[in-house]
Amino acid sequence: MGMTIAEKIIAAAAGVDHVKPGDIHTVNLDRLMSNDGTTHLTVDMYHNKLTNPRIADPKKLVFIVDHNVPADNPKTAAAQKKDERFCQRASD
């Protein structure tokens, strides 16, 4: 049986000929993407949960702000500002 499109993408990114459900592969990512709905949670995990946090390639980091533009309350504005500061530090 052939691979699904997702399996083909994973195989290509892992540099292998074939993958199947249950396999574990290390892949090269094209982009590291997150949207404003969850990015602030990701930033918190990066700072508070990881033992040795680092971004392999900051040029691949993409945060999309598309839920509350402009921010509709102070809490959302603070979360978006946190994301912006994280991106600025990552690109330094």
Rounded (5°) CA angle 5-25-89: 95
Q: What is the pLDDT of residues 51-65, one digit of tens each?
A: 988 888 888 988 888
How many domains does one find in the chain?
2
Q: Are residues 71 and 86 in the same domain?
A: yes
**What's this model's pTM, rounded to 2 decimal places?**
0.67
Range of the domain at 54: 31-91
Q: Are residues 40 and 6 in the same domain?
A: no
Share of the chain above pLDDT 70, in %: 100
Share of the chain above pLDDT 90, in %: 38
